[in-house]
Protein backbone atom coordinates (compact mmCIF):
# COMPACT_ATOMS: atom_id res chain seq x y z
CA UNK A 1 0.00 0.00 0.00
CA UNK A 2 1.21 3.49 -0.85
CA UNK A 3 0.02 6.86 0.39
CA UNK A 4 -0.31 9.27 -2.53
CA UNK A 5 -1.74 12.77 -1.94
CA UNK A 6 -3.36 11.45 1.25
CA UNK A 7 -5.15 8.65 -0.63
CA UNK A 8 -4.38 5.16 0.57
CA UNK A 9 -3.85 2.88 -2.42
CA UNK A 10 -5.51 -0.54 -2.18
CA UNK A 11 -4.25 -2.90 -4.87
CA UNK A 12 -4.99 -6.39 -3.54
CA UNK A 13 -7.66 -8.29 -1.65
CA UNK A 14 -5.24 -8.73 1.24
CA UNK A 15 -4.83 -4.93 1.49
CA UNK A 16 -8.61 -4.56 1.34
CA UNK A 17 -9.04 -7.14 4.09
CA UNK A 18 -6.68 -5.21 6.38
CA UNK A 19 -8.52 -1.98 5.59
CA UNK A 20 -11.90 -3.47 6.45
CA UNK A 21 -10.59 -4.58 9.84
CA UNK A 22 -10.83 -0.89 10.79
CA UNK A 23 -14.38 0.09 11.66
CA UNK A 24 -16.19 3.12 10.29
CA UNK A 25 -16.61 4.83 6.92
CA UNK A 26 -13.94 3.97 4.35
CA UNK A 27 -12.54 7.35 3.28
CA UNK A 28 -9.86 8.67 0.90
CA UNK A 29 -8.81 5.36 -0.58
CA UNK A 30 -7.85 4.62 -4.16
CA UNK A 31 -8.87 1.10 -5.20
CA UNK A 32 -7.11 -0.36 -8.21
CA UNK A 33 -8.33 -3.51 -10.04
CA UNK A 34 -10.20 -4.83 -6.98
CA UNK A 35 -12.99 -7.36 -7.50
CA UNK A 36 -15.40 -6.42 -4.69
CA UNK A 37 -17.67 -9.37 -5.55
CA UNK A 38 -15.03 -11.62 -3.94
CA UNK A 39 -15.40 -9.91 -0.57
CA UNK A 40 -19.09 -9.51 0.36
CA UNK A 41 -18.26 -7.72 3.63
CA UNK A 42 -16.78 -4.86 1.59
CA UNK A 43 -20.17 -4.17 0.04
CA UNK A 44 -21.68 -3.52 3.47
CA UNK A 45 -19.47 -0.51 4.27
CA UNK A 46 -19.96 3.15 3.40
CA UNK A 47 -17.38 4.92 1.21
CA UNK A 48 -16.49 8.60 1.11
CA UNK A 49 -14.12 10.49 -1.22
CA UNK A 50 -12.72 7.28 -2.74
CA UNK A 51 -11.50 6.45 -6.24
CA UNK A 52 -12.32 3.14 -7.94
CA UNK A 53 -10.13 2.33 -10.96
CA UNK A 54 -10.94 -0.71 -13.05
CA UNK A 55 -12.76 -2.35 -10.14
CA UNK A 56 -15.61 -4.84 -10.31
CA UNK A 57 -18.38 -3.34 -8.18
CA UNK A 58 -21.44 -5.50 -7.45
CA UNK A 59 -24.97 -4.26 -7.91
CA UNK A 60 -26.15 -2.29 -4.91
CA UNK A 61 -22.70 -1.22 -3.72
CA UNK A 62 -22.89 2.02 -5.71
CA UNK A 63 -25.57 3.26 -3.29
CA UNK A 64 -22.93 3.13 -0.53
CA UNK A 65 -20.63 5.55 -2.33
CA UNK A 66 -21.10 9.24 -1.55
CA UNK A 67 -21.04 11.96 -4.20
CA UNK A 68 -17.33 12.58 -3.68
CA UNK A 69 -16.41 9.10 -4.96
CA UNK A 70 -15.20 8.59 -8.52
CA UNK A 71 -15.53 5.41 -10.56
CA UNK A 72 -13.23 4.82 -13.54
CA UNK A 73 -14.57 1.70 -15.26
CA UNK A 74 -12.41 -0.71 -17.24
CA UNK A 75 -11.91 0.17 -20.89
CA UNK A 76 -12.04 -2.76 -23.28
CA UNK A 77 -8.54 -2.92 -24.70
CA UNK A 78 -5.98 -5.74 -25.03
CA UNK A 79 -4.09 -4.10 -22.15
CA UNK A 80 -5.08 -3.28 -18.58
CA UNK A 81 -5.43 0.49 -18.07
CA UNK A 82 -5.17 0.21 -14.28
CA UNK A 83 -2.28 -2.13 -13.60
CA UNK A 84 -1.52 -2.10 -9.87
CA UNK A 85 2.10 -3.21 -10.35
CA UNK A 86 4.92 -3.22 -12.89
CA UNK A 87 5.30 -5.88 -15.53
CA UNK A 88 7.83 -8.68 -15.38
CA UNK A 89 8.82 -11.28 -17.97
CA UNK A 90 5.99 -13.60 -16.88
CA UNK A 91 3.28 -10.97 -17.44
CA UNK A 92 4.75 -9.19 -20.46
CA UNK A 93 5.50 -12.44 -22.29
CA UNK A 94 2.42 -14.32 -21.05
CA UNK A 95 1.65 -16.94 -23.70
CA UNK A 96 5.24 -17.32 -24.89
CA UNK A 97 6.68 -20.83 -24.94
CA UNK A 98 10.49 -20.93 -25.21
CA UNK A 99 10.17 -24.31 -26.94
CA UNK A 100 7.98 -22.76 -29.65
CA UNK A 101 9.49 -19.55 -30.98
CA UNK A 102 6.37 -18.79 -33.04
CA UNK A 103 4.36 -18.40 -29.83
CA UNK A 104 5.99 -14.97 -29.48
CA UNK A 105 3.54 -13.74 -32.12
CA UNK A 106 0.59 -14.34 -29.77
CA UNK A 107 2.06 -13.38 -26.39
CA UNK A 108 0.69 -10.39 -24.47
CA UNK A 109 3.46 -7.99 -25.50
CA UNK A 110 3.07 -8.73 -29.21
CA UNK A 111 -0.72 -8.49 -29.10
CA UNK A 112 -0.52 -5.07 -27.44
CA UNK A 113 2.07 -3.85 -29.96
CA UNK A 114 -0.05 -5.10 -32.87
CA UNK A 115 -3.06 -3.24 -31.45
CA UNK A 116 -0.93 -0.12 -30.88
CA UNK A 117 0.32 -0.04 -34.47
CA UNK A 118 -3.12 -0.87 -35.84
CA UNK A 119 -4.71 2.05 -33.99
CA UNK A 120 -1.81 4.33 -34.91
CA UNK A 121 1.05 5.46 -32.72
CA UNK A 122 -0.76 8.79 -32.59
CA UNK A 123 -4.42 7.85 -32.74
CA UNK A 124 -7.46 10.05 -33.36
CA UNK A 125 -9.55 7.61 -31.32
CA UNK A 126 -10.19 9.41 -28.02
CA UNK A 127 -10.96 6.18 -26.13
CA UNK A 128 -7.67 4.71 -27.32
CA UNK A 129 -5.60 7.72 -26.28
CA UNK A 130 -7.39 7.89 -22.92
CA UNK A 131 -6.73 4.20 -22.31
CA UNK A 132 -3.04 4.62 -23.12
CA UNK A 133 -2.74 7.64 -20.83
CA UNK A 134 -4.41 5.75 -17.98
CA UNK A 135 -2.12 2.77 -18.55
CA UNK A 136 1.00 4.96 -18.50
CA UNK A 137 -0.22 6.73 -15.36
CA UNK A 138 -0.56 3.33 -13.70
CA UNK A 139 2.98 2.48 -14.80
CA UNK A 140 4.35 5.69 -13.30
CA UNK A 141 2.44 5.11 -10.08
CA UNK A 142 3.77 1.55 -9.75
CA UNK A 143 7.26 2.76 -10.67
CA UNK A 144 7.26 5.36 -7.89
CA UNK A 145 6.07 2.72 -5.43
CA UNK A 146 9.04 0.52 -6.37
CA UNK A 147 11.59 3.36 -6.25
CA UNK A 148 10.35 4.40 -2.81
CA UNK A 149 12.25 1.38 -1.47
CA UNK A 150 15.60 2.75 -2.70
CA UNK A 151 17.93 5.60 -1.81
CA UNK A 152 17.60 7.86 -4.86
CA UNK A 153 21.40 8.11 -5.15
CA UNK A 154 21.63 4.32 -5.46
CA UNK A 155 19.76 4.25 -8.77
CA UNK A 156 22.11 4.12 -11.77
CA UNK A 157 21.22 3.94 -15.46
CA UNK A 158 23.11 2.50 -18.41
CA UNK A 159 22.46 4.06 -21.80
CA UNK A 160 23.60 2.50 -25.05
CA UNK A 161 22.59 1.13 -28.40
CA UNK A 162 19.99 -1.55 -29.06
CA UNK A 163 22.20 -2.75 -31.92
CA UNK A 164 25.03 -3.97 -29.65
CA UNK A 165 25.31 -7.66 -30.44
CA UNK A 166 25.72 -10.35 -27.83
CA UNK A 167 28.99 -11.19 -29.62
CA UNK A 168 30.31 -7.63 -29.19
CA UNK A 169 33.14 -7.30 -26.66
CA UNK A 170 31.24 -4.40 -25.05
CA UNK A 171 28.26 -6.65 -24.29
CA UNK A 172 29.99 -8.67 -21.60
CA UNK A 173 31.84 -5.58 -20.34
CA UNK A 174 28.52 -3.81 -19.75
CA UNK A 175 27.18 -6.94 -18.05
CA UNK A 176 30.21 -7.00 -15.73
CA UNK A 177 29.77 -3.33 -14.82
CA UNK A 178 26.11 -3.90 -14.01
CA UNK A 179 26.82 -7.09 -12.07
CA UNK A 180 29.44 -5.32 -9.96
CA UNK A 181 27.23 -2.32 -9.16
CA UNK A 182 24.24 -4.54 -8.36
CA UNK A 183 26.39 -6.49 -5.91
CA UNK A 184 27.31 -3.16 -4.30
CA UNK A 185 23.65 -2.38 -3.70
CA UNK A 186 22.75 -0.22 -6.70
CA UNK A 187 19.51 -0.58 -8.65
CA UNK A 188 20.48 -0.82 -12.32
CA UNK A 189 18.13 0.78 -14.83
CA UNK A 190 18.02 0.85 -18.63
CA UNK A 191 15.64 1.39 -21.51
CA UNK A 192 14.77 -2.29 -21.15
CA UNK A 193 15.40 -3.36 -24.74
CA UNK A 194 18.06 -5.47 -26.48
CA UNK A 195 21.76 -4.72 -26.97
CA UNK A 196 23.48 -2.68 -24.26
CA UNK A 197 20.19 -2.59 -22.35
CA UNK A 198 19.91 -6.36 -22.23
CA UNK A 199 23.55 -6.64 -21.12
CA UNK A 200 22.73 -4.32 -18.19
CA UNK A 201 19.98 -6.60 -16.94
CA UNK A 202 21.88 -9.81 -17.62
CA UNK A 203 24.64 -8.46 -15.38
CA UNK A 204 22.18 -7.59 -12.63
CA UNK A 205 20.48 -10.98 -13.00
CA UNK A 206 23.83 -12.74 -12.49
CA UNK A 207 24.77 -10.70 -9.40
CA UNK A 208 26.15 -12.87 -6.63
CA UNK A 209 27.48 -15.48 -9.05
CA UNK A 210 31.05 -15.97 -10.25
CA UNK A 211 32.48 -14.38 -13.39
CA UNK A 212 32.78 -17.83 -14.95
CA UNK A 213 29.01 -18.27 -14.62
CA UNK A 214 28.42 -14.90 -16.31
CA UNK A 215 30.73 -16.02 -19.10
CA UNK A 216 28.77 -19.26 -19.42
CA UNK A 217 25.48 -17.31 -19.59
CA UNK A 218 26.80 -15.08 -22.38
CA UNK A 219 28.02 -18.14 -24.31
CA UNK A 220 24.50 -19.57 -24.15
CA UNK A 221 23.24 -16.39 -25.81
CA UNK A 222 25.82 -16.25 -28.62
CA UNK A 223 23.96 -18.41 -31.20
CA UNK A 224 21.35 -15.60 -31.48
CA UNK A 225 23.45 -12.43 -31.31
CA UNK A 226 20.81 -9.94 -32.60
CA UNK A 227 17.27 -9.41 -31.34
CA UNK A 228 16.09 -10.05 -34.91
CA UNK A 229 17.61 -13.54 -34.88
CA UNK A 230 15.54 -16.64 -34.28
CA UNK A 231 16.08 -17.90 -30.75
CA UNK A 232 16.97 -14.51 -29.25
CA UNK A 233 14.20 -14.63 -26.64
CA UNK A 234 14.26 -18.41 -26.14
CA UNK A 235 17.98 -18.38 -25.38
CA UNK A 236 17.41 -15.74 -22.69
CA UNK A 237 14.79 -17.98 -21.07
CA UNK A 238 17.24 -20.88 -21.09
CA UNK A 239 19.79 -18.72 -19.27
CA UNK A 240 17.15 -17.71 -16.73
CA UNK A 241 16.27 -21.35 -16.14
CA UNK A 242 19.89 -22.45 -15.71
CA UNK A 243 20.85 -19.48 -13.53
CA UNK A 244 17.81 -18.46 -11.44
CA UNK A 245 17.84 -14.90 -10.12
CA UNK A 246 18.26 -14.39 -6.41
CA UNK A 247 15.02 -13.02 -4.94
CA UNK A 248 16.78 -10.04 -3.39
CA UNK A 249 18.29 -8.98 -6.74
CA UNK A 250 16.32 -6.47 -8.81
CA UNK A 251 16.80 -4.39 -11.91
CA UNK A 252 14.44 -2.04 -13.72
CA UNK A 253 13.77 -1.88 -17.46
CA UNK A 254 11.77 0.98 -18.95
CA UNK A 255 10.93 0.11 -22.57
CA UNK A 256 8.22 1.48 -24.85
CA UNK A 257 5.78 0.16 -27.42
CA UNK A 258 6.81 3.16 -29.54
CA UNK A 259 9.86 1.03 -30.35
CA UNK A 260 7.86 -2.16 -30.02
CA UNK A 261 9.75 -3.90 -32.82
CA UNK A 262 12.60 -4.13 -30.29
CA UNK A 263 11.58 -6.78 -27.74
CA UNK A 264 11.97 -6.03 -24.04
CA UNK A 265 14.63 -8.01 -22.24
CA UNK A 266 13.22 -10.65 -19.89
CA UNK A 267 16.29 -10.29 -17.64
CA UNK A 268 14.81 -7.16 -16.01
CA UNK A 269 13.02 -8.22 -12.83
CA UNK A 270 10.73 -5.17 -13.05
CA UNK A 271 9.51 -3.68 -16.33
CA UNK A 272 7.72 -0.35 -16.69
CA UNK A 273 6.57 -0.41 -20.31
CA UNK A 274 5.01 2.75 -21.70
CA UNK A 275 3.08 3.84 -24.76
CA UNK A 276 4.28 7.45 -24.56
CA UNK A 277 8.01 7.44 -25.33
CA UNK A 278 8.55 11.04 -24.20
CA UNK A 279 7.24 10.24 -20.70
CA UNK A 280 9.42 7.15 -20.61
CA UNK A 281 12.63 8.87 -21.74
CA UNK A 282 12.25 11.83 -19.39
CA UNK A 283 11.47 9.54 -16.48
CA UNK A 284 14.39 7.24 -17.22
CA UNK A 285 16.90 10.06 -16.82
CA UNK A 286 15.02 11.64 -13.92
CA UNK A 287 15.26 8.58 -11.69
CA UNK A 288 18.97 7.85 -12.35
CA UNK A 289 20.20 10.21 -9.64
CA UNK A 290 23.15 7.98 -8.83
CA UNK A 291 24.57 8.58 -12.28
CA UNK A 292 24.32 7.53 -15.91
CA UNK A 293 26.85 5.32 -17.68
CA UNK A 294 27.01 5.99 -21.43
CA UNK A 295 28.10 3.10 -23.63
CA UNK A 296 28.44 3.37 -27.44
CA UNK A 297 25.10 4.11 -29.04
CA UNK A 298 23.42 6.00 -31.85
CA UNK A 299 20.94 8.88 -32.15
CA UNK A 300 18.84 7.87 -29.15
CA UNK A 301 21.89 7.78 -26.89
CA UNK A 302 22.98 11.21 -28.20
CA UNK A 303 19.58 12.63 -27.31
CA UNK A 304 19.82 11.18 -23.80
CA UNK A 305 23.31 12.64 -23.28
CA UNK A 306 22.27 16.21 -24.00
CA UNK A 307 19.00 15.88 -22.14
CA UNK A 308 20.94 14.61 -19.12
CA UNK A 309 23.49 17.41 -19.49
CA UNK A 310 20.71 20.02 -19.44
CA UNK A 311 19.15 18.47 -16.34
CA UNK A 312 22.51 18.50 -14.59
CA UNK A 313 23.28 22.07 -15.71
CA UNK A 314 20.03 23.34 -14.21
CA UNK A 315 20.13 20.85 -11.32
CA UNK A 316 16.55 20.05 -12.23
CA UNK A 317 16.22 17.39 -9.54
CA UNK A 318 18.10 19.23 -6.81
CA UNK A 319 21.65 18.18 -7.66
CA UNK A 320 23.82 17.04 -10.55
CA UNK A 321 24.74 13.38 -11.08
CA UNK A 322 27.78 11.75 -12.73
CA UNK A 323 27.93 11.24 -16.49
CA UNK A 324 30.37 8.37 -17.05
CA UNK A 325 31.44 7.69 -20.65
CA UNK A 326 32.57 4.11 -21.23
CA UNK A 327 34.82 3.79 -24.31
CA UNK A 328 37.53 6.41 -24.85
CA UNK A 329 38.07 5.74 -28.57
CA UNK A 330 34.34 5.98 -29.25
CA UNK A 331 33.50 9.05 -27.16
CA UNK A 332 36.70 10.99 -27.89
CA UNK A 333 37.19 10.28 -31.61
CA UNK A 334 34.38 8.40 -33.35
CA UNK A 335 31.62 10.40 -31.67
CA UNK A 336 33.49 13.15 -29.76
CA UNK A 337 30.62 14.07 -27.46
CA UNK A 338 32.80 13.88 -24.35
CA UNK A 339 35.24 16.40 -25.85
CA UNK A 340 32.37 18.71 -26.77
CA UNK A 341 30.80 18.62 -23.31
CA UNK A 342 34.19 19.18 -21.66
CA UNK A 343 34.83 22.17 -23.92
CA UNK A 344 31.38 23.66 -23.29
CA UNK A 345 31.86 23.27 -19.55
CA UNK A 346 35.27 24.99 -19.73
CA UNK A 347 33.62 27.86 -21.64
CA UNK A 348 30.89 28.17 -19.03
CA UNK A 349 28.13 27.09 -21.42
CA UNK A 350 27.43 24.10 -19.18
CA UNK A 351 27.81 24.08 -15.42
CA UNK A 352 27.60 21.39 -12.77
CA UNK A 353 28.58 18.55 -15.12
CA UNK A 354 30.37 15.67 -13.39
CA UNK A 355 32.16 14.13 -16.36
CA UNK A 356 34.49 11.15 -16.59
CA UNK A 357 35.66 8.81 -19.34
CA UNK A 358 37.33 5.42 -19.16
CA UNK A 359 37.82 2.01 -20.78
CA UNK A 360 38.20 0.27 -17.45
CA UNK A 361 35.32 -1.54 -15.74
CA UNK A 362 36.57 -0.91 -12.21
CA UNK A 363 37.08 2.78 -13.00
CA UNK A 364 33.41 3.05 -14.00
CA UNK A 365 32.41 1.46 -10.71
CA UNK A 366 34.75 3.76 -8.76
CA UNK A 367 33.34 6.90 -10.43
CA UNK A 368 29.84 5.89 -9.34
CA UNK A 369 30.99 4.99 -5.84
CA UNK A 370 33.01 8.19 -5.37
CA UNK A 371 29.94 10.30 -6.11
CA UNK A 372 28.06 8.48 -3.37
CA UNK A 373 30.89 9.00 -0.92
CA UNK A 374 31.09 12.73 -1.73
CA UNK A 375 27.35 13.12 -1.16
CA UNK A 376 27.54 11.29 2.18
CA UNK A 377 30.42 13.54 3.27
CA UNK A 378 28.44 16.74 2.68
Residue 1 has pLDDT above 80, yes or no: no
Q: How far is CA 219 from the centre of its chain?
A: 26
Contacts of 279 (CB under 8 A, 6+ apart): 136, 140
Average pLDDT value for residue range 229-241: 98
- 112-135 pLDDT per residue, tens: 999 999 999 999 999 999 999 999
Average pLDDT value for residue range 47-51: 97
Give me the residue spans of the domains in the chain.
3-72, 151-377
The pLDDT of residue 260: 86
- 283-339 pLDDT per residue, tens: 899 999 999 999 999 999 999 999 999 999 999 999 999 999 999 999 999 999 999
The third-level CATH classification (topology) of the domain covering 151-377 is Rossmann fold (3.40.50)
**Euclidean distance between CA atoms 310 and 306, whole angstroms:** 6
| The model's pTM | 0.94
**Euclidean distance between CA atoms 355 and 319, whole angstroms:** 14
Average pLDDT value for residue range 191-213: 98
Dihedral sign, CA of 305, 306, 308, 313? positive
**Euclidean distance between CA atoms 87 and 204, whole angstroms:** 17
Q: Give me the half-sphere count of Cα atoms (radius 13 Å) on the Cβ side of residue 101.
A: 12
The pLDDT of residue 283: 87
Q: Give me the half-sphere count of Cα atoms (radius 13 Å) on the Cβ side of residue 113.
A: 20
Amino acid sequence: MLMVSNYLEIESLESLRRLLAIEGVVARCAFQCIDFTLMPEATERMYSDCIFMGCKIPEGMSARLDNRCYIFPSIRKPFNCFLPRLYDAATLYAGFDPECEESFNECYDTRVYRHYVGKGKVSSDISEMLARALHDHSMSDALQAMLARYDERRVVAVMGGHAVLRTDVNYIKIARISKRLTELGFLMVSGGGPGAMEATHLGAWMAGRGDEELQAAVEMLLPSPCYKDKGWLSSAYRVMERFPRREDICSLGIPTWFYGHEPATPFASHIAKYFDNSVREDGLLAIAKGGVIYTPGSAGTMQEIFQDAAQNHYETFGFASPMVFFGEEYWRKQVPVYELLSHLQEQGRYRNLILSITDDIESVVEHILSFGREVEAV
